[in-house]
Amino acid sequence: MQTDIQWVEKFVDDLGKENFLDHYSLEDNIYRICLKQYILFLYLPNTARLQDDSTHKTIHLDIDMLKSSYAKILQRIKGLMGRGRRIYARTTVPARIDKKVVLAFLEEYHLNVPLAGKYRYGLFHQGELVSVAVFSGGRVMRDEMDGYRSFELLRFCHKADYLVVGGVSKLIKTFIKDFKPNDIMTYADRDWSQHSSLESIGFKETGMTEQQTFYVKDGKRLAPQIEAQGYDYEIKNKGSIKLKLYL
């Protein structure tokens, strides 16, 4: 079994092979990994989140996630660095997809727990599924006008090695055409970004969530809704940005 340090060494080596790595250092059990466009803090057990770097976009990553989702994390960094097959949303076809398809896609490509939601859409490029978006059912907002419905964008991701330019915008526009929501809200993980790219398509930041606590046992993260007992250590993330698209 690889130790934590061996996982870090492999990670740094792979970042170097992709020509992403500038340099890295270790202090107080936290790796500061300087990439071409980002600062990545990699946390070993029993460490606390640092402040975001004031001059660079910042990523906060825990060693348990690196070990459990290594390929997904490396692919996400490749995407952030602009590495991948670039296709344009105008060359894709949107369509509703079923629960089984979306769960399999999210399991393979998304870092978080797969969610089927209520409404599921995909983008197809030459018959191949390259992006998915999952939405909740409508919620009646009692403090708004009669009939006001709010939906949540629960999950969105591309297939590995693809950069689908305008993909999320096309999926959201397709959903809006079908269901005519009054607003769509979502969350952006502050461990991965300090500002959401969704703001470029009209989403507005409406607040921040508190830090979320996770428990790790035998190197594996426990489900957050479980009251942990006998865990080895806990992690507190940076929380999330709450965003809303008003229509």
Question: What is the predicted pLDDT for the residue at 226?
Answer: 63
- pLDDT (tens digit, 0 to 9) for every residue of the chain, 247 residues total? 579 999 999 999 999 999 999 999 999 999 999 998 899 999 999 999 999 988 889 999 999 999 999 999 999 999 999 999 999 999 999 999 999 999 999 999 999 999 999 999 999 999 999 999 999 999 887 777 778 999 999 999 999 999 999 999 999 999 999 999 999 999 999 999 998 999 999 999 999 999 999 999 988 888 766 665 788 999 999 999 999 999 9
Question: What is the predicted pLDDT for the residue at 55?
Answer: 85
Alpha helices (H) along the chain: 4-17, 63-68, 70-80, 99-109, 167-179
Question: What is the predicted pLDDT for the residue at 225?
Answer: 61
| CB 123 within 8 Å of CB 131 | yes
Structure-block tokens of residue 69:
């989702």
The arrangement of strands across the sheet holding 38-43 comes to: 21-27, 30-35, 38-43, 57-62
Residue pointed to by tokens 């009692």: 142
The model's pTM:
0.93
Q: What DSSP string runs through 4-42? A: HHHHHHHHHHHHHHTT-EEEEEEETTEEEEEESSEEEEE
Q: Closest by alpha carbon to 191, among 112, 78, 82?
A: 112
In angstroms, the CA 185 to CA 170 distance is: 16
For residue 94, the tally of other CB atoms under 10 A from its CB is: 20
In angstroms, the CA 13 to CA 65 distance is: 18
Question: What is the predicted pLDDT for the residue at 147?
Answer: 81
Helix (H, G, I), strand (E, B) or coil at 207: strand
